[in-house]
Amino acid sequence: MDTFRDERPETRRPPSNPGPLVPRPTESPMSHDPPVARRHVEILNRFGLHMRPADRFVRLAMKYQSEIRVIHEGNEFNGKSILDLTSVAAQLGTRLVVEARGPDAPAAVGALAELIAAHFYEDDDGNPLPEKELAP
């Protein structure tokens, strides 16, 4: 059985040659993701992360543009929310991760880690100590 082949020039298809294969990047070479910084910290003050230290943390975090997260046992808490921070229930010796995502992320994480290392400017009895000026 012969099949009919149309040999007219206007009906011929060009050979299916895709040309040279050029690898295409799967991602754009310039990432638009904001910088991320994180640091492991330990709660060192005797009474843990209660209302006054949480307030100091939040007030400092609010000075930065970055989104601030506190991570504890796989749960993430908004570092700019006093309600979230007090629900962490972090006591003396609790290990946390402070994470920031945004244009000033490294500075934010550094300042917050410094605040935690300074026992949130409280003495051993939980009385407030004078704060040094922590500006971004």
Active site residue 40: no
HEC profile for 69-134?
A: EEEECCEEEECCCHHHHHHCCCCCCCEEEEEEECCCHHHHHHHHHHHHHCHHHECCCCCECCCCCC
What span, in angstroms and rounded, lies between the C-alpha atoms of 1 and 43? 87
Cα–Cα distance, 58 to 113 (Å, whole number): 13
Catalytic residue from among 32, 50, 72, 119: 50
Contact 128, 55 (CB under 8 A): no
Which residues are tagged catalytic?
A: 50
